[in-house]
Chains A and B, each alone.
Chain A
Amino acid sequence: MDISAPNRELRYLTGRKLAVFLAAADRIIPAFDSLPSGGTMTTAQVVDWALERMEPGLRKRFLALLTVMEIMGVAFGARPFSKNSAKARDRQLAWMESGPSLMRMGFFGLKNYACLGYYTREAVWKAIGYAGPARPDRQYPDTVIRALCRAEAEVAP
């Protein structure tokens, strides 16, 4: 399956935030059978597109969460979240899922965005047995998201 990254410049998931997001998505949706994990640039590209359309206040909080997660990583694996082992990241994510309500909200948002970036892609649909739209060729005004979900755009260097 094609998990290459279409060539759209990321606007929100950049630098450390991108690393945190990818490290989290990798554990929220781990590789299974023939399916790759969620921690790929293709997932990040779709999420970044969605973040651009997110209500600004919510987007700000989401991006702040990634920074907080990175710092808190030391409490779960002695290193920042993005550099921790898979087990340590799982411990931190499990704590967030059942922890204080702000952390639960953060985890909920993070999980939803990872899943949005993953389960809206045609290659994933095929692998999970979803046939997709009854009218697959119907055009959408924003061609970028269609290309991202079809993984048709150019491969980033």
Chain B
Amino acid sequence: MTRTMELDAVIIGSGAGGGTVAERLAPLAEAGARIAVLEEGHHFPLAYFTQREVEMMGLFRYGGGWPIKDGSITLAAGRGLGGSTLVYTGVTFRLPDAVCEKWGVPGLTPKDLAPRFERLEKDLSVIVPGDDMVNDNNRLFAEACETLGWEVKKIPLNLSGCEQEGFCNLGCATGAKQGAMAVQLPRAQKAGVVLVPNCRVEKIGRGKVSAKVSEPPPGTVPGPWEPGEVEISAKRIVCAAGSPATPGLLLAAGLEKELPALGRYFTLHPAMTLYGVMPHPIKNYQGFPKTYYTPRFSQTHHFYLETAFYYPFVSTKHLGLWGEDLARIMTRYANFMTVIALNHDPASEKNRIRLSRKGEVIMDYTIAKESVESLAHAQVAATRLFIAAGCREMVMPMAKKPVFTPADAGDKSLEEFISPKRFLPIKTPLSSAHPQGGCRMGAGPEDSVTDPWGKVHGREDLYVADASLFPQSSAVNPYLTVMALADRVGQKLVESADSWG
């Protein structure tokens, strides 16, 4: 039997966006407003995080390998209370002013965002990691950048009492990572906002949300609602399920005709994780995985190079090898030096979220030629960096010989040895953890989905508060920008609360 309930506001999704809106609405909840956060994933207690890849696959949609339509890129998207903040490393970058200006959203200015960033960074305990948090992989990265004359910077991180166990991407076992589950959601809950895990939203309509609550799996925390179908009437609906789920919900609501930009301008921040092999073990699995990056290539070649660490199985995905190459190189796992290249991919109208006949979300995305060129250059840069650090071998999927020594590439320029011509979709390993766009903000419904405050054009009851709002790639790791935009959505909702009806 379907239950019905009436609420003042429903927030769909509990990650960086949903968590921030929930916290922003806390004063309304304290004043008696009925507000719920619906999360499809489970409520994982800290004790659930066992730091083992195969056991933690349930923290991600599709086990961490959500494929786009042509299979050439797989997404790692968090699925649980806290959303992707459950499984991110906590890299805290402000949206660059130049990117904000390029977005050209009326009223969305660096001046508007700066105080929000400042407040969020304080709330999230953002620090610049000290030298005691720099493991060998990061130290070698910084030293090699300096040798090459590349600008190298520390990565700001949102941590409190980090024990540097190094398993951030499998859920923080100690609660040190200051994501939505540690900061915003507890504050919202304390104010009376109800957090509902295991609750999949099937459909949204005008002031209506249809959802289904499922049984909590063993080891997870049960939610407050009994399993079964629920029909909710709500005065305000905030979609914060992330991209591509939020555009999918709006498409399923039949809004594409009124909003032709819906689902479009989808970007992925396509990434390649690249490996060098040091002559001795550096044990990158020990210590904090990410403390340095270089912005050296952002303006010229449209990618950031950051330090990285991945567990053995995920590493095999990134290496793009099999057979003896794979078996041999993996025996050097403890010697791996690891970096990740994140491409600022262009926003194209053709790259879009759509629905299958069964209503499933499809990410119809074709990587741009300039992104492939950018990632080829990233491999050239990473090779130079690894050689400068002292690596004896490199693994570069677009190289003439995917596993090679400095001598192998020595008789010709690296740009010839590593070429975008060798890119073959699916064979060349690409991943993404930063899907963006599909509900872009803007001035009007002809080329955007929401207004600059996240309100869907033509609707008073419907808002968006996640990375699907981005009109173009954020260039940097996006969670802080998502929170700042969600803060604006929350502000607008609070300011307009008297007119909710």
The answer to whether A and B assemble together is yes
Neighbour of A128 across the interface among B53, B71, B312, B426, CB < 8 A: B312
B91 within 8 A of A: no
| Residues from chain A with Cβ under 8 Å of B327 in the complex | 29-32, 35
Task: Assess the B165–A30 pair: CB atoms within 8 A.
Answer: no
Task: Assess the A119–B316 pair: CB atoms within 8 A.
Answer: yes
B95 shortest CB reach to chain A, Å = 33
Task: Assess the B313–A120 pair: CB atoms within 8 A.
Answer: yes
| Residues from chain B with Cβ under 8 Å of A112 in the complex | 65, 316-317
Neighbour of A98 across the interface among B167, B323, B333, B424, CB < 8 A: B424
The residue of chain B having its C-beta at the shortest distance from the C-beta of A55 within the complex is B62
Task: Assess the A97–B312 pair: CB atoms within 8 A.
Answer: no
B283 within 8 A of A: yes
Main secondary structure of the interface of B (DSSP, over half): loop
Neighbour of B219 across the interface among A33, A119, A125, A140, CB < 8 A: A140
Neighbour of B52 across the interface among A30, A53, A133, A141, CB < 8 A: A133
Question: How far is it, in angstroms, between the C-alpha of A101 and the C-alpha of B322 when the chains are bound?
Answer: 18
Chain A 88-102 interface mask (CB, 8 Å, partner B; 1/0): 001001000110010
A146 within 8 A of B: yes
Task: Assess the A120–B312 pair: CB atoms within 8 A.
Answer: yes
**Which residues 298-312 in B have Cβ within 8 Å of A in the complex?**
311-312
The residue of chain B having its C-beta at the shortest distance from the C-beta of A105 within the complex is B71
Task: Assess the B427–A98 pair: CB atoms within 8 A.
Answer: yes
B425 within 8 A of A: yes
Task: Assess the A97–B286 pair: CB atoms within 8 A.
Answer: no
**Which residues 116-135 in A have Cβ within 8 Å of B in the complex?**
116, 119-120, 124-125, 127-135
A54 within 8 A of B: yes
| Residues from chain B with Cβ under 8 Å of A32 in the complex | 324, 327-328, 331
Task: Assess the A141–B219 pair: CB atoms within 8 A.
Answer: yes
Number of interface residues of B (CB under 8 A): 51
B39 shortest CB reach to chain A, Å = 19
B434 shortest CB reach to chain A, Å = 21
A11 within 8 A of B: no
Question: How far is it, in angstroms, between the C-alpha of A86 and the C-alpha of B317 when the chains are bound?
Answer: 23
A151 within 8 A of B: no
The residue of chain A having its C-beta at the shortest distance from the C-beta of B311 within the complex is A130
Task: Assess the B427–A30 pair: CB atoms within 8 A.
Answer: no
Task: Assess the B57–A131 pair: CB atoms within 8 A.
Answer: no
B334 within 8 A of A: yes
Chain A 39-68 interface mask (CB, 8 Å, partner B; 1/0): 000000010001001110010000000000
Chain B 38-59 interface mask (CB, 8 Å, partner A; 1/0): 0000000001111111110110
Question: How far is it, in angstroms, between the C-alpha of A120 and the C-alpha of B313 when the chains are bound?
Answer: 6
Task: Assess the B313–A140 pair: CB atoms within 8 A.
Answer: no
8 contacts across the A-B interface (CB closer than 8 A): A29-B327, A32-B327, A98-B427, A104-B425, A116-B54, A130-B311, A133-B50, A149-B52
A contact residues vs B (CB 8 Å cutoff): 27-33, 35, 46, 50, 53-55, 58, 90, 93, 97-98, 101, 104-105, 108, 111-112, 115-116, 119-120, 124-125, 127-135, 138-142, 145-146, 149
